[in-house]
Amino acid sequence: MIESSSDVRVGLVAELRRANALAEYRRWSGMLEYLDAETARIERELEPRARELEIAAVRSVIAQANGWSEHQLAARLHEAETARDDLPAVWAAFGDGELDAARVSIIAAGAWKLEPVKVFV
């Protein structure tokens, strides 16, 4: 691996890349945890008519905290939820700093194009 290079400068760059990937994972994981917790709270406390508006407000807060538009947030959430819920090995590699957010986004987008396996009995 490049991290074990004898050139200290190359090793430092590799360490910084991994640290950045870990920071991206914490950001994505944190926003999912916050959204999940707030959604659960909203579903417990509010009437069905008020839930959609309140969840939209939570999403808006997450977008603002990340400096993203609400459209960008919707895309990131979809990618993050796909990786976390449907691609556990990808999510684990992201959490270990082996993959960065850009690669997770590409993998998630590729996963959406896959068709379900048909089992014939």
Q: Using one digit for the tens of pLDDT, what is the confidence trace for 19-31?
A: 999 999 999 999 9
Q: What confidence tier does 88 reach under pLDDT thresholds 50, 70, 90?
A: very high
Whether the per-residue pLDDT at 121 is higher than 70: the answer is yes
91 and 105 Cβ atoms separated by less than 8 Å? no
Prediction pTM value? 0.83
Whether the per-residue pLDDT at 115 is higher than 80: the answer is no
Give residue limits of the domains in the chain.
Answer: 2-113
CB proximity list for 74: less than 8 A, separation 6 or greater: 59
Q: What pLDDT, on the 0 to 100 scale, is given for residue 5?
A: 59
HEC secondary structure over 53-88? HHHHHHHHHHHHHHCCCHHHHHHHHHHHHHHHHHCH
Q: Using one digit for the tens of pLDDT, what is the confidence trace for 30-80?
A: 999 999 999 999 999 999 999 999 999 999 999 999 999 999 999 999 999
Q: What pLDDT, on the 0 to 100 scale, is given for residue 10?
A: 84
Mean pLDDT score, 112-121: 81
Mean pLDDT score, 3-8: 67
